[in-house]
Amino acid sequence: MSGRIRSEAFKNKVMSAHEAAVLVEDGWNIGFSGFTGSGYPKAFPEALAAIIDAAHNRGEELRVGVWTGASTAPELDGALARTGGISYRAPYQSDPEMRSAINKGTSYYQDIHLSHMGPQVSQGFLGKLDVAVIEVTAITEDGDLIPSSSVGMNRTYLDYADKVILEVNEWQSEGLYGMHDIYYPIGALPPNRVALPIMNAGDRIGEKVLKVDPEKVIAVIVTDAPDRNTPFKLLDDDSRAIANNLLDFLGNEVKQGRLPKNLLPCSRAWATSPTRCCRAFSTARSRTSPPTRR
């Protein structure tokens, strides 16, 4: 028995990933943890993919809706997409297998803004959430869940799912306890929602743990597997060319008086291509003053 499962109420629910995946029924919507390759379930998705493949080989229908926090990893999106068993996918993904299934029309896809997913789930716009499959670092004596390396949609999925499956990943550091700030009193739905009471960068307004009704938990899976942690690719000529074009554009904006010389704060998307371009941009900018290309 894993020392990470400290609540007696959860210890008798430990089972294999296969045993947990067998519980899934055709047509279910599944809310997975995971955000850009961090904190996604490692064992359950591949076990479910094997069960879907077996069902399809018998001529049986078994397809599920897949909701996440953002992109995940090949062990989740890729494994399930290859089966043709994903009927619907939201809100964001970056897996080539999943992309292919969407483009072929095998899977419906809704590119919902990540900040809109929680309210839409809580208001029932996407239908019933049958089960949440959430990776955690540990389960405390009181039955609280110490979050893994991401939070994403976990609070909402745990609250609104009819059933819950937990993956306790022993690879994740127990030092993650205290890193998270889980805020529960969200309050009224839009347009009547008020601002979160965060006034300073160091403010904490929530809890260190996620809450779950133990009666909803139907399975606990113990894993020991790393996050995706995909390394960024090296700079290439295309990235440098894009960065130089951006420098030319910004330099002209300064010249025309539409931007100050310090360029104001700059923000970028979190993805491989923007990251590579921004690295090239930073390198090029450090060699130029004012911000124009040499």
Give per-residue pLDDT as tens, 14-39. 999 999 999 999 999 999 999 989 99
CA nearest 20: which of 153, 132, 127? 132
The average pLDDT across 222-244 equals: 86
143: left (phi over 0), alpha (psi -120 to 50) or beta: left
Pick from 143-147, 220-224, 237-241, 278-282: least confident? 278-282
pLDDT at 231 > cutoff 90:
no
For residue 160 the two structure tokens come to 């609104």
pLDDT band for position 276 (50/70/90)? low
Pick the more confident residue, 81 or 282: 81
pLDDT at 128 > cutoff 80:
yes
pLDDT at 131 > cutoff 80:
yes
Pick the more confident residue, 83 or 273: 83
114 and 16 in contact (C-beta within 8 Å)? no
Q: DSSP per residue over the chain, as a string? A: --TTB--HHHHTTB--HHHHHTT--TT-EEEE--BTTBS--SSHHHHHHHHHHHHHHTT----EEEE-SS---IIIIIHHHHTT-EEEEES----HHHHHHHHHTSSEE----HHHHHHHHHTTTT----EEEEEEEEE-TTS-EEE-S--TTHHHHHHH-SEEEEEEETTS-GGGTTS--B-----SPTTSPPPP---STT---SBSSB---GGGEEEEEEE------PPPPPP-HHHHHHHHHHHHHHHHHHHTTSS-TT-------SSHHHHHHHHHHHHHHHT-SSS---
CA distance 39 to 145: 13
Pick from 119-133, 199-213, 233-247: least confident? 233-247
Give the pLDDT score at 1: 60
- Report the b/e string of 228-258 with b at 16+ CB within 10 A: beeeeeeeeeebbebbbebbeebbeebeeee
Give the pLDDT score at 85: 97
The average pLDDT across 276-280 equals: 59
Give the pLDDT score at 189: 76
The average pLDDT across 43-49 equals: 98
pLDDT at 6 > cutoff 50:
yes
pLDDT band for position 293 (50/70/90)? very low
Give the pLDDT score at 272: 55
The average pLDDT across 112-123 equals: 93
Give the pLDDT score at 271: 56
CA distance 118 to 136: 19
pLDDT at 290 > cutoff 50:
no
65 and 31 in contact (C-beta within 8 Å)? no
> With the C-alpha atoms ordered 152, 156, 159, 161, is the resulting torsion angle positive or negative?
negative
pLDDT at 287 > cutoff 60:
no
51: left (phi over 0), alpha (psi -120 to 50) or beta: alpha
Beta bridge partners of 131: 30, 163
The interaxial angle of helices 272-286 and 237-255, nearest 10 deg, is 60
The average pLDDT across 168-175 equals: 97
CA distance 161 to 158: 6
Work out the number of other CB atoms within 10 angstroms of the CB of residue 174: 11
